[in-house]
Amino acid sequence: MPRAIYLSTHKAAQQTAGSPIISDLGGKRRIQYKTETGLSAALHKFCSEHDYTLRFERALVKVLSGYAKGKKKRMRTLAIKLVHTLDGRNEVRRAEVIQKLQAQGYKDTEVEFMLKHLHAHGVILCTVGRSSKVRVA
């Protein structure tokens, strides 16, 4: 998994953390920044180039081709919310995912459609059966 260490080169930050980098971290990719804006830009670039983000975007292009602009935006937002329901957890019951998204105003058919297609494109994994579970692929 690609990783990076973000180091502040601002003078005030160097006064408090003057010790050198631990030898175990010596060969890791380091990205230096001076301001909060620089850190934000570096993190945004790292996230947009991440493998999962690229797979997610490719899957959405395939799934949503042919839809009208407004419907594409709604379904994209649904897909993002669906993935965010899995944040910080290894697995979530499929019924729980559907229930959370229904509470946010999405129809059962929309949620099922997105689950099915994101699974088909390898973005998420859904198990089969009555107590089906969903997890990030």
Give tens-digit pLDDT for 66-99: 999 999 999 999 999 999 999 989 999 999 999 9
- Of residues 23 and 79, the one with the higher pLDDT is 79
80 and 97 in a single domain? The answer is yes
105 and 132 in a single domain? The answer is yes
Please give the residue range of the domain that contains residue 65. 51-136
pLDDT at 78: 96
42 and 21 in a single domain? The answer is yes
pLDDT at 15: 59
Q: How many whole angstroms separate alpha carbon 5 and alpha carbon 31?
A: 6
27 and 57 in a single domain? The answer is no
102 and 65 in a single domain? The answer is yes
pLDDT in tens, 92-117: 999 999 999 999 999 999 999 999 99
This prediction's pTM = 0.76
Helix (H) or strand (E) holding 123: none
pLDDT at 29: 76
61 and 38 in a single domain? The answer is no
Question: Lowest-confidence range among 6-10, 30-34, 98-102, 133-137?
Answer: 6-10
22 and 43 in a single domain? The answer is yes
Domain boundary among 13, 33, 48: 48
11 and 58 in a single domain? The answer is no
Surface-to-core class of residue 26, CB atoms within 10 Å of its CB (0-12 exposed, 13-18 middle, 19+ buried):
exposed
Q: How many whole angstroms separate alpha carbon 14 and alpha carbon 101?
A: 45
* 3-state percent breakdown (helix, strand, coil) of the chain, nearest 5: 55, 10, 35
- Of residues 19 and 83, the one with the higher pLDDT is 83
Given a cut of 80, is residue 13 above it in pLDDT? no
Q: How many domains does the chain have?
A: 2
DSSP character at residue 27 = T
44 and 74 in a single domain? The answer is no
- For residue 99, what is the domain's CATH number? 1.10.10.10
Q: How many whole angstroms separate alpha carbon 58 and alpha carbon 75?
A: 14
